[in-house]
A and B are shown apart, each in its own frame.
Chain A
Amino acid sequence: MVAALKNPNVDFRHRNLLGIEGLSAEEISLLLDRSDHYAERNRSARAPGKALSGRTVINLFFETSTRTRTSFQLAALRLGADVVNMAVEHSSIKKGETLLDTALTLNAMHPDVLVCRHPESGAVKLLSQKVECVVVNGGDGAHEHPTQALLDAVTIRRRKGRLQGLTVAICGDVMHSRVARSNIYLLHTMGARVRVIGPPTLVPGAMERFGVEVFHDMALGLRDADIVMMLRLQLERMQGSCVPSIREYFRFFGLDRQKLSNAKPDALILHPGPMNRGVEIDSEVADDIGRSAIQEQVEMGVAVRMACLEVLTRNLPRLEDG
């Protein structure tokens, strides 16, 4: 079924990429196939083509980010676009009206693509309603981070050859994670089985409504998993509110060799980065080239963002020469 979908001419009938929820398996496969294509191009000496030549991309980040912003920037540059980075100091921004004012101002400059990250869930969608260009969600609050889920999927598919039928364990602060939500939607749509693991303060029982299996014990949750996806634990969650301490968290929910031994022998480890070594993951595991795909995820990040930019701009009016 998946093989039959490898048609680069499948339409992507969305103006924006605001989230994974609502995308069909065919649309996700299209993005993954194009990502594979760009991953190969990026590794080879061949130029990736100039699909975005003459286009303007604005990176509008209301939340500090180095990795994601650089990844989007590189992706756009490699496709020949002109890129402007706007890092907005969150403290100097008033929410609500000011976000819309910013949107209207940028819209008046006629960019082709706006990549936006914002600390509030739903803010990127709100922005998208006020501009005429393509909007790509670079992460909104605890809602969605679609390009992260796509790059995780490409990484898994390249290593395992498929997504369908795999058992994926997502571990850690699921409650506050946009990465987890986007991944759950994507993996479900592509036919994988998803488990979420963590203490009930970070993995509420209501997560079952997402169609995932909820575990509060790492050994049980990791049993026979094909993929172990670790999430970053924010420092403010560790100081006695959701989790009593770092050492307690690491003892019961940090991924080390011993806990990993419950997963399949060839289980692959993913982490969206940046890692808290000794909090959610042991260095011994994180740096194991045979098991950890963490570096590959970063590499795929650029390819996925190239694919998204290319596929989304296909729908824009074509640029006239001269």
Chain B
Amino acid sequence: MMAGTGKHHGGKHHGGERNGTVAYVNARLIDPASGLDEPGALVTSGGVIADLGPRLFSDAPPPSVDVVDCRGLILAPGLVDMRTQLREPGEEHKETIGTASAAAGAGGVSTMVCLPNTDPVIDDVAGVEFVARRAREAKATKVFCYAAATVGMAGRELTEMGLLAETGALAFTDGTRAIANSRVMQRALNYARTFGLLIVQHPEDPALAENGVMNGGEMALRLGLRGIPRVAEVMTIERDLRLVEATGGRYHAAHLSTREAVEAIRRAKARELPVTCDTAPPYFTLNETAIGDYRTFAKLSPPLRTEEDRDAIVEGLADGTVDAIASDHAPHDQDSKRVPFAQAEDGIVGLETLLPLSLALVHKGRLGMADLLGKLTAGPAAILGLGEGRLRKGAPADLVLIDPDKPWRIDPDAFLSKSKNAPWENLPVQGVAMRTVVEGRVLHDRMT
């Protein structure tokens, strides 16, 4: 798409960094898009992938080249994170595009897509241009944005989707709010179809979710907290699927959390509806018991569900129903979380834990490595029509070098993100991004 932020900019000042030729040798090359999973080498030059393959440099690389020995490491496309909240403009005390980019680099993410729920809401051309400009200035990760589907995310009037897409908006969503009104949803799907554009839904019936703060059920009863029934998710999805069928519009359900929602999408895909979905690490890592003693770091939207739901999400990832894993990065300052549970903001920071938490699925034998990396690269890129997320000769050198087994403990205080809200303190994990490269530039490096 058009306004690939950082895509065509910045070369003037930092051309020197990019023009160096770097050879990554002895790597396990994984490109989920093409099915490549073989030992081999890859060489970057001038910001693009100059060549790659199992037999490249089978003798020895030329002496003029900067050689990186990747023995024991995976070289994959840089991660494409399709759902982040970057808080800029409006809440720069929680996160900025600059700090989020640094966090993304540390997490192996080379492309991120941000929600329009900023202040002001990204619902006009100026908002899309603002994000693109700030990303250029940060000169780090690639940043794309969604634009609001309705003006002010108020759920009534459609935004200028055609003009917004021309400016660079990848797809349309009301962010963390559901497009609740059936008529508005029908029009949004219908109108977006004019331009072949995607509508991304936060699937949650607002009337059922009203004032709810955690999963509805026994635990909410015991804690005395207002619950959000599990059915609120699948109801909205099933309504939307009817509208997708009626309009032919493209639809993506974000951050699935319940078994019924996975089943609904599975059935829709079997009927070949133009439908995709994603989930986020909390939903396949934790269940509602993580809330424990009113722990606000485990408060998110949609809420953590039951163990049965968690298992169904993993199952959906394994059988291909769930197309992508997003970080659902939702930074909040301490003031937003150190309050009574019901008053706390929703969300977890996720950019720096996306990869290790997802790799747990491989270590537990639920997904193959290439399959998992597909959900983090080619999967989301295909949904959003991005050329990123693949290893291909001539493509931008957006790469991540992964040590898949390295054990470590998560320490939120060490996050580069401006906010540290995460329920993962001291959680032992395996696997880490050793180096993140965006268009040939090394953003982050643990290799030395």
Contacts and interface: CB of A to CB of B under 8 A. Distances in A.
25 contacts: A199-B190, A199-B194, A200-B191, A200-B248, A201-B187, A201-B190, A201-B191, A201-B194, A204-B190, A216-B194, A240-B151, A240-B156, A240-B158, A241-B157, A242-B191, A244-B157, A244-B159, A244-B160, A244-B162, A244-B191, A248-B160, A248-B161, A248-B162, A251-B163, A252-B194
A245 B159 CA distance: 8
A248 B160 CA distance: 6
B248 A244 contact: no
Interface-central residue, B156, B157, B248, by most chain A CB under 10 Å: B157
Nearest to B186: A201
Interface in B238-276: 247-248
B177 interface: no
B193 interface: yes
A251 B190 contact: no
Contacts of A248: 160-163
A240 B191 contact: no
Nearest to A203: B194
Interface in B174-205: 187, 190-191, 193-194
Interface in A242-292: 242-245, 247-248, 251-252
Contacts of A243: 158, 191
Chain A, interface SS category? loop
B151 A251 contact: no
Nearest to A217: B194
Contacts of B248: 200, 205
B187 A242 contact: yes
A204 B163 CA distance: 21
A234 interface: no
Contacts of B156: 240
Interface in A195-237: 199-201, 204-205, 216-217
A243 B163 CA distance: 12
Given A200-B247, A240-B151, A245 B160 contact: yes
Nearest to A204: B190
A239 interface: yes
B163 A247 contact: yes
A16 B405 CA distance: 84
A258 to B, nearest CB: 15
Interface residues of B, number: 17
B194 A244 contact: no
B179 to A, nearest CB: 13
Contacts of A245: 160
A216 B157 contact: no
Interface residues of A, number: 18
Given A240-B158, A242-B191, A248-B162, 19 more contacts: A199-B190, A199-B191, A200-B191, A200-B194, A200-B248, A201-B187, A216-B194, A240-B150, A241-B157, A242-B187, A243-B158, A243-B191, A244-B158, A244-B159, A244-B161, A244-B162, A245-B160, A248-B161, A251-B162
A234 to B, nearest CB: 16
A195 B162 CA distance: 22
B190 A252 contact: no
Nearest to A242: B187
Contacts of A239: 157
Interface in B99-157: 150-151, 156-157
A200 B163 contact: no
B191 A252 contact: no
A200 B158 contact: no
Closest 9 CB pairs between A and B?
A: A240-B157, A248-B160, A199-B194, A200-B190, A244-B160, A244-B158, A216-B194, A201-B191, A201-B190
Nearest to B196: A216
Contact of B193 (A216, A242, A244): A216
A205 B160 CA distance: 21
Contacts of B191: 199-201, 242-244
Contacts of B194: 199-201, 216-217, 252
Contact of A241 (B159, B187, B193): B187
A221 to B, nearest CB: 12
Contacts of A205: 248
Contacts of A247: 160, 163
A105 to B, nearest CB: 40
Interface string B46-63: 000000000000000000
